[in-house]
Structures are given as structure tokens and as C-alpha cells.
Chains A and B, each alone.
Chain A
Amino acid sequence: MKLFKLTFVAIILLIGPSVFGQITCDSISNVTNSYLNTSEDKQLNRVFISDGQVYRAFLDEDQSTEFEVTLYGGSTYRIATSAGITENYLIFEIYDKSRNLLFSNKDYNNAPYWDFKIESTIDCYVETRLDMNKKLSGCAIMMIGFEKRK
């Protein structure tokens, strides 16, 4: 019986952190989503429509994630990121295919979201990593929305 109890405790200990990790990742997703339509957007009658995808990765020290995205000319996009309750854990950077840096939120106190007005269609890389001064590991979420024209 004691062995059974011990096994039960061991299972709880094993599963617990991963379950809590899942909840945390879920809540980070909600935080990120809130940046796609802020109260300021509502006041300004701005609507950003999600591209329907959740870009997620678990990041550890010195690790980054990168993906390619095509941004259409004549559009305004919002890229929103989060890695926790504090706004500025994540650094994200946008490069063109020749690796010219187009934007880094590091220049703006790791702003969790930023808008991009695209003059001409561009294929680019979005790279994300944790700010090692603020967070060492965890779930990172990014979402992309485009602005509906008025």
C-alpha cells in the first residue's frame, strides 16, 4: 500500500510540472492574443485579423527560433509576442532574405508588439529569442495579424 502511495506521488510529481507548463503556455497564448486587439485599437477603430496560426517554441538559454514569412505589399501587419506575464521577455527581429536587419524590438525596450506597414511584398525571416537578462527558459508565443482596411 505504501509502495502504491509512493508510486502515486511519483506520478503526480512527474506529470505536474508538464501540466503546469502547458497551462502557462496557454496563458501566454492569451496574453499574446490580447496584443492583437488592444483597447487603444478599439478606440481608434483598428481591427487586426489573425492569420489563424500560433507560432510557438520552448526556448532555452542561447536558443532562438526562426521562420519565414511573406508580408504582402499595401498591408499593415502586427507581430505580437509573449513569453510570460512581463511584457518584455522576448526579443524579435526581422531580416530580409539577404539578412539585412529590418527591425528589432530590442531597440524599443523589447516591445511585445509592433506594426509593420509593407510598401512592397517581402519574404523575410522572423527570429525570436529570450532576453537572457530577464528570462532563461520558457514557452515563447508569436502571433501575426493583418489590419483590415477601413
Chain B
Amino acid sequence: MKNKLKLFIIGSSLFSVAILMGRCGTESETTKDADKIEDDLNSKDSSINPDESIFLIGDQIFSIPSPVQTAFLIKDVGVPFNSDYVNPADNAMNYSSNFSKALNLGVYGADLGYLTIYEQTDGALRYLKSVRGLSKELGLEGAFDEKLADRFSSNIGNQDSMLVFVSDAYRSSDNYLKENDKNDVAALVLAGGWIESMYIAADAAVSSNNPLLIERLGDQKNPLISLIAMLGQYNADADYEDLINELEDLLGIFAGIKYTYEYVPSSTNESKKETTIKSKHTVEIADGDLEAIINKIESIRTEIVE
């Protein structure tokens, strides 16, 4: 009986190992003769195969634009810094649930980017403290550790480095959360960052009436669709449901925006490893829709930060 048990354990172990090696991220590499590779590469065309299976581990992949990039646009079009646009740093201690902590970690990340771009160094250091506090409470202190704070402080005045450190820290936390099956938290951080970035852009658009900022708001339809789908994967309780409902209402307003798209072939400079994508796109937003979008974003953001 004991021997049978031993055999069963060994057999099951080897079987499981075989499965794991084949399926779960263990590298199974096949290197072929270089000439064969060249021939095979040349023989394949670049069209998409509609029968090819799309495979994802766990969750679907979604891309949400960087809040930092929108903050750059706000500065580039000449809108002056406004401290009223950001969530007060002290509010960080008011968030009690993991849901609101994760959302506001994203909010503060967008604020930190905004402050850094406008070279508000004292404010940026205070916001970094809030980010670190929330990240610690969410078990993400590894991404926003003392080392990051030191690197950030010692590079005050070097905007490039500061932005790279912050973006890298957010990327590290995203990586950590995804590796540890906390995709729901990663999604909330991204959602908070997107909402705050839209809030700042909306306020800046109101104050400046700048067409590039208005277009940027109009260009958020697809990111918003991705955001709703991403959050929908974790729609586990009333908090998620409320947020998704609010975002769906916002998406409903985007239905009134007119978009045009014209495909133009891309051109590539191989030596620079650069392709210019030349397709044309326009956005036309009626004043009423713009106002409704701005009001809705403000209302969603207020719910999150208060």
C-alpha cells in the first residue's frame, strides 16, 4: 500500500511538472538553424490570420494612456499651473477601503506627474509622501520605497529623471500587482490616474478654451471603453458597480461626438528604427457635449477624492 502511495505521489508530481513546464511560463525554446529561420521568416506574409487563437492568462490586456502625457500637453499649450486642480495631499489619510486607496493612488500619481512637469518641487515631494503612504497600505511599498524617495529628492531640478523615476515606480507596482494576481488593484490605480488626468485636462480646457485640450478630451472615447471593460472584469461589489455605472454614463455623452478617420500608409526610416503613422483623424465636439463631459468628469472625480 505504501509503495503504491509513493508511486502515486511521484507519478503525480512528474505529471504536474510536465504540465507546468509546458504551460506555465517555463521557457520552452526551440532554436533552429539560422538559414532555416531566415527562409521561414521570408516565407511568411504579414497579414493577420483570422483563425489564430487569442490567448491571455487570466485577464484581458487593456491600455490606458499615461496621465503624465496629458499633463505635458496642458503645459505645452500654455495653461499656467493651478494648485486647485490637484487632490490635497493630506486627503491621503482619509481613505479607508482598499478600493478608495487604490483609486487615489492613481489620482496622486497623476497629480505627482502634473506637479513635476510644472516644477513644483516642494509640492511634488509632499505628494510623493502621500503616494508612498497609500502604496504601503496597499502592500506596494517595494515599488515606492525609500530608495525611490531618495532618488527623487536628489534629482530635484532634473525633471527628466524625476518623471522617469515616478513612471518606473508606477510600472513596477503594475508589474507586481499583475504577477501577484492583484489585477483588480492595478485596474483601480490606472482608473484613478485616468480620471484625475481627465479632471485636470477638463479644468484646463475650461480655463483656456484651447482646441488641443478639447480634442484630447474628445479622444478619450476608446481609452474610456477600455477602462470600463477592464473594471468590468472585477465587478465584485457595489463600489465597482457604482464606478462602472458612472463611467458608462460618461461614455454615453461621447456618443454625440463626431469622429472621422482616413487611412494613409505609414512610412518607415529603418536606420532610425522609426515609423511615421500618417493616418488622419478629426474630432468634432458640440459645446453642449463638451460641457456635459466636463461636468461628468468633475462629478466622478469628486466622488473618488472626497
Q: Do A and B bind each other?
A: yes
A interface with B by C-beta (< 8 Å)? 2-3, 6-7, 9-10, 13-14, 16-18, 20-22, 24-26, 29, 33, 37, 47, 49-60, 62-73, 75-76, 84, 93-104, 106-111, 113-123, 126-127, 129, 131, 133-139, 143-144, 146, 148-149
Task: Determine which of A13, A121, A123, A136 lies in contact with B13 in the assembled complex, contact meaning CB atoms within 8 Å.
Answer: A13
Contact A115 B272 (CB under 8 A): yes
The answer to whether A102 touches B266, judged by C-beta atoms less than 8 angstroms apart, is yes
A116 to B32, CA, bound (A): 31
16 A–B contacts, CB within 8 A, in A order: A50-B167, A51-B167, A52-B109, A52-B193, A58-B25, A60-B23, A70-B222, A103-B268, A111-B273, A115-B272, A117-B274, A120-B281, A131-B41, A134-B31, A135-B29, A137-B23
- Other-chain residue from B37, B53, B68, B274 in contact with A114 (beta carbon distance below 8 A): B274
Cβ of B61 under 8 Å from chain A? yes
Closest CB in chain B relative to A25 CB, distance in Å:
6
Known: A51-B63, A55-B61, A70-B219. A119 touches B277 (CB 8 A): yes
Minimum distance in angstroms from B36 CB to a CB of chain A: 7
The residues of A that contact B296 with a CB separation of less than 8 Å are: none
Q: In the complex the two chains form, is A64's CB within 8 Å of B54's CB?
A: yes
B147 located at the interface, meaning its Cβ lies under 8 Å from any Cβ of chain A in the complex: no
* Interface-located stretch among B43-51, B148-156, B240-248: B43-51
Per-residue interface assignment for chain B, residues 186 to 204, with 1 indicating a CB less than 8 Å from any chain A CB and 0 otherwise? 0000100100000000000
Any chain A CB within 8 A of the CB of B256?
no
The 7 closest A-B pairs by CB, nearest first: A21-B25, A63-B55, A52-B170, A10-B13, A67-B61, A51-B66, A69-B63
A18 and B24 within 8 A (CB):
yes
From A22, A72, A102, A134, contact of B279 by CB (8 A)? A102
Supposing A13-B17, A122-B277 touch, asked if A6 and B55 sit within 8 A by C-beta, the answer is: no
B276 is an interface residue with CB less than 8 A from chain A:
yes
Instruction: Name B residues whose Cβ lies closer than 8 Å to a Cβ of A.
Output: 2, 5-6, 9-10, 12-14, 16-17, 20-32, 36-37, 40-41, 44, 46-48, 52-57, 60-66, 68-69, 72-73, 76, 109, 160, 163-164, 167-168, 170-171, 174-175, 178-179, 190, 193, 215-216, 219-220, 222-223, 226, 261, 263, 266, 268, 270, 272-283
Cα separation A16 to B18 with both chains bound (whole Å): 12
Docked complex Cα distance between A116 and B276 (Å):
6
Bound-complex Cα distance A119 to B267 (A): 11
Question: Told that A70-B219, A107-B46 touch, could you supply 14 new A-B pairs with CB distance under 8 A?
Answer: A3-B9, A13-B14, A17-B21, A18-B24, A55-B61, A64-B53, A68-B222, A100-B263, A100-B279, A102-B277, A108-B273, A118-B277, A120-B280, A133-B41
Among residues of B, the one whose C-beta sits closest to the C-beta of A46 is B160
Q: Is the CB of A123 within 8 A of B64?
A: no
Q: Is the CB of B278 within 8 A of A67?
A: no
Complex contact B275–A115 (CB within 8 A): yes
Q: Which one of A57, A70, A71 contacts B277 once the chains associate, using CB atoms below 8 Å? A: A71
Contacts of A68 in B (CB 8 A): 62-63, 222, 226
Contact (Cβ within 8 A) A52 B171: yes
Determine whether the beta carbon of A14 is less than 8 Å from that of B16. Answer: yes
Give the distance in Å from the alpha carbon of A122 to the alpha carbon of B2 in the complex. Answer: 65
Most chain A CB within a 10 A radius of its CB, from B37, B48, B53: B48
With the chains together, A76 CA to B28 CA distance in Å?
35
When the two chains form the complex, which single residue of B22, B61, B63 contacts A137, counting CB atoms closer than 8 Å?
Answer: B22
